[in-house]
Amino acid sequence: MKVLIIGAAGMIGRKLTDAILRDQVIGDRRVEALHLADVIAPVPPASDSVKITTSTTDLTDPAAARALTVWRPEVIFHLAAVVSGQAETDLDLGLTVNLDGTRNILDAIRQTGEGYCPRFVFTSSLAVFGTPLPDVIPDDFAPNPRTSYGAQKLIGEILVSDFSRRGLLDGISLRLPTICIRPGAPNAAASGFFSGILREPLAGLPAALPVDPETRHWFAGPRGAVGLLLHAASVDTAPLGHRRALNLPGISATVADQIAALERVAGPRAVALIRPEPDPLVRDIVSAWPRAFAPDRALSMGFTAETSFDEIIAAHIEDELGGSLPLHDVP
C-alpha cells in the first residue's frame, strides 16, 4: 500500500510517520511506500523496509496538488492547515491555505480518474462548533462556527462528504480534540496555551495562562491523535453513510484539572511557574469552543483516545523528556 501524508513536517505528521514506519501496516495492509509532503521540506526517517520519498509542496498551487496524486496513493492524510489564531487574524491566509489548499487536493484526486478512489483522512476541528453550546455535544448537534478557521474546516468537511457521495474518494473528516501536550516551540493556535501551561513547567520554564482556570475544553494527547488517524485510515466507513464527519473521543477537563494533574506529577514548584496573563482575543475564541462530547458514532466504530491528563503527561515525559523530569521539577 502507498500512503501520502500532507503536512508531514508538523508535529502530528512526524509522529504519524514514526508510527507508520514502526508498525509498517495500516489495518491489515502492509505499507510499502510513504510520501511526505509539506511547505517545509520534511526530514525522512530511515527505513529499510518502507520506501520513503519527500517533496516541498504548496497545496495552494493546483499543479503541486496534482503532482501528489499521480502515483495514486491508496491512503491520503490531509493534515496541512493554517492554525486557528492565524486564520482569524489573517482571513486571506486562512482562505488560501485551509480552503483553497483542501479544494486543490480534492480536485487533484478527482482529476486522477480511472477508478481512483483513495481513503482520504481529513483533519477537521472542534472549531466547527460555536456558541450557544450544550454542556455535552451529541453527534447530531449542528455545526455553527464562530471563527474563520472553523468555517474553513466545515467547508472542507462538506466537500469531503460530497466527494465521497460521488464515489470520487472514500473520505472521513476527524474533528480532532485539541492536542495536548504539543512538544516543541509554541505555535500561533489560540489553543496553544493548553499545551504551554504543562510543557513549559515540565521543562522548568515559565508559562502564561491567558484564560480563567475554570475554562473547560476537550482534549487528546499526541499518541491518542495518531491512533485516531490510523484507525480512520482502515475503518469500515459504511456506517458513516453520507455523514462523513466524526466527533471523536477525548477528555473533558478544565484548566484547573490540567494544573492539578501537573502538580500530582511535578509538584507545586512546577505549578508556580504558571502566571496569569489575560488575553481577550484568546479568551473570546476559546470560550466559543466545545467543552465535552458524547461521541457515540466514533465509539461504536472503535475509535479510542486517552482517558486522563495523568496519562497524557506521563506519555509526554516518556516521549519528549527521556522518561524523567529535570531534577528541579521533581516533587
Cell readout for 126 is 472542534
Of the options 3.90.25.10, 3.40.190.10, 3.40.50.150, 3.30.1300.10, the CATH number for the domain spanning 192-217+251-291+308-329: 3.90.25.10
The single-letter code of the amino acid at 81 is A
- Residue 310 has a pLDDT of 96
* Strands, E assignment, 51-145: 51-56, 75-78, 119-125, 137-138
Q: Which CATH number fits domain 2-179+220-247: 3.40.1350.10, 3.40.50.300, 3.55.40.20, 3.40.50.720?
A: 3.40.50.720
Q: Which residues participate in catalysis according to the annotation?
A: 149
Q: What is the DSSP letter of 13?
A: H
Beta strands in the chain (DSSP E): 2-6, 25-26, 29-30, 33-38, 51-56, 75-78, 119-125, 137-138, 170-176, 178-179, 207-209, 216-220, 245-247, 251-254, 274-276, 293-294
> How many Cα atoms are found within 13 Å in the side-chain-facing hemisphere of 215?
20
Parts of the chain belonging to CATH 3.90.25.10 = 192-217+251-291+308-329
Q: State how beta strands 170-176 and 207-209 pair.
A: unpaired
At 325 the pLDDT is 83
Q: Which set of grid coordinates corresponds to residue 227?
A: 491512533
**Interval 106-149: pLDDT, tens:** 999 999 988 999 999 999 999 999 989 999 999 999 999 989 99
The mean pLDDT of 149-169, rounded to a whole number, is 97
| One-letter amino acid of 58 | D
- Intervals of CATH 3.40.50.720 along the chain: 2-179+220-247
pLDDT > 90? residue 300: yes
Predicted local distance difference test score (pLDDT) of residue 287: 84
Percentage of the chain modeled with pLDDT above 90: 87
pLDDT attached to residue 168: 97
CA-based radius of gyration for the chain: 19
- pLDDT beyond 90 at 330: no
Residue 4 clears pLDDT 60, i.e. is over it: yes
